Each structure stands twice: as C-alpha cells, then as structure tokens.
Structure 1
Amino acid sequence: MHRVVVLALDGVYPFELGIPARIFGTATGPDGAALYDVRTCSLDGAPVATNADFRIAVESDSGALTEADTVVIPPFSACDAPDSEWVPAELADALRRLRPDTRIVSICTAAFVLAAIGLLDGRPATTHWKQADRFRTLFPQVSMDADVLFVDSGRILTAAGSAAGIDACLHLLRRDHGSAVANQVARLCIVPPWREGGQAQFIDRPVPEPSSATTAATRAWALTHLDRPLPLSELAAHARMSVRTFCRRFREETGLPPGQWLTQQRVEHARHLLEATDLPIDRVAADAGLGSAASLRQHLAATIGVSPTAYRQTFARTAAVT
C-alpha cells in the first residue's frame, strides 16, 4: 500500500494539515480496500502547536519519513516571514534522509522549506501569490510561477495555497489511480473533481453579489453538451446575458475565459472516456467535442505530454493493479 506521511511542524496550519488524510485516506479500490496508508508525524514524535488555539498529538517521529512513498509538508508559522537560512537543521536532515524516489508535496508556503534546502534548484515551483516576490528574491535559482494552482515537476509537487492543496492531492490521486477514483473522492469530499494546475490563482477578483447573475447554471449545462460546438453567443444566451457581460462574469467566477475553460472540460471528458471505455480514439474525440483524433492528440500532448493510446494503456494497467 502506498504510504503517505504528513509532516506536522510547530505552528502548522490545521486546515492544510488535514488535506492529505481527507483526500488520500478516502480513496478506495474496486474491492473497497484503502489505496493509501496516511500517517502524520512530527520531527520528534511530540505534540505540535498549530497556528490556531490548540495542539495536535501525533503517533510518529521523523523516522516515519524514511518509510514514506509520498511526503506532504503543510505550511507552518515560520513560513510567514522566512529568510534564506531559517530551516532548522533537524528538519533539513530529516528531508535529506528521504529515499531518492520519495514523492514530495509542499502546500502553500511550505515550498520555502524545499527551496531552502536545495530541493527546488533548477525546478519550476509555485507558492502563495502573496509570498512570490519574497520567494524569487531568496531563491533565484528556482523558476517561480505564482500564476498557477500547482506545479507537478515529477518527483516534487508544489501547491499554491489551501484549496490548491486539495487540487494537488486530487491530481496525484488521478495520476496514481485514474479519474474514476479521483472523481469519487471529490464527490465524497464535496469539492470540484478537477482544476488544471495551470489555472490561475484567484488574486483580488471580486466575488459576485448573491443577487447577481451567475454563469454556474450555464457551465453545468455546457458539461452535458460537450459533444457539440458551443459558441460563445449560445453560452451567453443560455445565461441570459450579453456576450460581454457573460465573458466578464465567467472570468470572475472561474479565473478563465469561456473558450479556455471549455477546452479544459473537453480534455478532461476525453481522459475519462479513454480510461473508462473502449471507444475508438476518433469516437472519444468526437464525444468530447474535440473534433478529430489529431486534435485530441494535440490537446493531450499539450496538457499531459502523452498520446491518447499511451494514456489509455497507462490507466488500463493502473486499473488492473487496483
């Protein structure tokens, strides 16, 4: 069983600390068996203070990290104003003892920890947008992208903030076991099943007033009609807005223009069909509204770097294992 170890450090943020157990701990295979063993540790096994008004007791010390397949580091208070040499020696030593193939995930400003001990050198990464300038100043050797929800660079994944930590864990769940498992976990947790990592962080965007018109119903309707063209004029008409108002409201609510959002949903639907059905590639492309197999190949290559056939084969093997 894949073991996930969450490292709780003094001043840990409770919400982010609980994300891995909620997402990975909810995942089950076709037989109902758990797919992940999720454990929480502190450096010395002692209780740790949170940044709220309570402490958290854990059952393991940093020795658990050496047995981990995935290590998740939530943000903690010291991340709020870090300098280049603020990581305690015992923390740096614990992370350097990880197996070379251990997957590492930082949530929010915990990316400062990974950067401070050199794990992000030469890699792309993200963190909370409010700390991005400080991060760039301290760690110019890291390619900081503050405009995305999370960055998956292979072994190391960095998430931008609280909700992006959920997105990143669901992304890893999808990568490990396919969209059916990830979508089921998302439904149980009442969260969106998928937000592309390259989607923009929501920075200073106004929240519509409760009485304002919204594009939510139109987005839900569009998801049931992905197999046909959905011109902007039709979407705006469905929402009973002018095209200009619809585009503005849509971007406020999703962070994306309608066309880009639609393409993401079409690619996501195509991925689901590749995993869950034996439909020919041409049919998958048509049912997802991507037109042709060539178009599907282009979009998949741009999104995840593989062909439809390779993607299907990968998740067919995953399904056989789980």
Structure 2
Amino acid sequence: MSKSITSTAPRFEKQHVPRFHRLDTAHISAIESLYKSYPFLKDRMEIHMPFSRAKPTFSTGTLWLWPKFDRRPVGYLVFLEGFAPCIWYPERQEGMTFRWQLPPNFSLHGPTVCLANILAGESLLQIEDIVIHQGKDQWSTKTFSERWLSLGEFWQSIPSDQPLLAFKPQIVKPLALSDWSSHYDPSIYWIIQPDHQRQPRWYWKDTVTERVHVNYIAPVLKRSADMAVLLCANCMPYTKMNLPDTYSLFSQEGENLGMASIASMNLSMDLREKMKSQMGLGLPVEVRWNDAFRKYQIVRIMPVESPITTASFFYHLHL
C-alpha cells in the first residue's frame, strides 16, 4: 500500500471572528452590581401607553417622539471599566458584547449606561437616551432634552473610526410634537418621551380609526344586448312560394321569425337533403342575426332532439 504525500508547508486560513460574544458570569455580576448603586435601573424604562393615558399625555407638557426602533423592550448599553462594551436586556436577562475600540481609561471615572436597541440582522445600533454618565445619575437629575445634550457630548468622546465594530451605531433624532404631523405614520409604534426627570417613555400605536359609513348599493342584474346566446330555431320549408331553399324560422312558441338566409351552398344542399326525411316537421337549426339583411341566417343544422329557443331571445327583429 503506497503512502500519500502530504505537504509540510504551513497553512494560513482566515479565521472567522464572531461579531458578538455572550456575556460571561463575571460581566453579568458587574452589571447586576450597578442595580445597587443606581436602583432606578430596576424600573421599566419603556411602558405601553393605554388609551386612557393618550389624551392627558398629549395635552400637557413637552413631548419628544420618534419611531420605535425595535419591537423588543429597550436595552441598556453599558460601558464598564475592565469589561467590553455590551448591550444588556434586563427583561430577558441576556446580552452581548461588542468589539468597540475606546480610549484608555474611558470608564475610569465611572460607568456609563445608555438606552439602546440593536438589530443584529441589519447590523444597526440606535442609542436613544443616557441615564448614567461617568458614574453620575442623569436619569434622576436631568430632563430628557438635557440628557440628550449629554448624550451628544458622550458620543463625541467615542472615536468615529471603528474598523472592528460589526454594526453601525447611530443616535436617535427626536421630533418635537409640532413636527410630528409631517412624519406621522399610523401603521407603526412610536416612542413618546415626556421632557421630565425620572419619566419612563411610552410606546404607542394609533389603533383608534374613524369609522366611515359606506352606503350599500344592491347589485342590479342587467342582460347585455350583446350577450352570446346560442339561438336554435325550427326551420320549415316555405310553401307559399315555389322556390328552392326557401325556409321559414319559428321560435319554441311557434312565433314566426321571418324568412331565413343560408350561409353557404354546402349547407343549403345538406338542409335540402335532410328536409326530405322530416315530412314537413322541420329541423332545429342554429341561427345568427345578420344585420345587413335584417334577417336570421342559418349557421348549421342541429341534432333533431335539440331544444328550440323561446321567442324572447329573438329580440333582434324589434331593434
């Protein structure tokens, strides 16, 4: 048995670097310790607005609005000394870290926690609020508009060049209530943020639509004058004139439909031959109105048992 020859040259394969990593136990414990120093982190930051709260909310105070970025509840974007930046979803008790390059001692003065959501499928992260900045409580001491200015300052402190970051971060652009009408879309959920301290934001969708009364119009059946109907008449020889190939047409009720015209010589000969065996009883024939001659024209001979059409269908004579 011969031995296979294997190359001893080193192989350099491109290793796949995961975009996100799950949080380890130490990282989760560090995040949970923040709840002791900042108890408000235990509270819900995003609440569904019931219908009863809509009018009071829109009638009083300053509001900021933007489309809800994700169906899931908002998460915490956490920057902690000694740990990689991560997003943590408290309701699901899970999160993921990012390969975000930061300056040395970025979190030396204390943790920073923002409200954010990530769409991993679109590689997009939206930062919407800042509740702790370098260890200082922003949630309890500043209104949303003041916190948003602090968020802008924080964003400027992060290097914009992030070659290892596997998603695109962006800061939300809130709308004033006065500008909402030009961006409004009733088919999506909206975030409604009151401009107060310690005020959770609402998420809301307009489900109250004005009912429009529709008048019911009953359908009317109309028979089209051009409706395609097979007309079958009883064809009998016209005996008052001693002329060949002269035939009268009759409806089912025996109403005289006038003299018939014949479409072709072959049909005329065929009709003449079959009339001999009918002993004056007539033959059922398919007819079609010939407007140029103002009479019915025989198209073909029908089987003997074919039903004759009633007189109401031969309306062409009265047009």
Q: TM-score, normalised by structure 2?
A: 0.22
* TM-score, scaled relative to structure 1: 0.22
Larger Rg: 2
- Higher strand proportion, which one? 2
Structure number with the higher helix fraction is 1
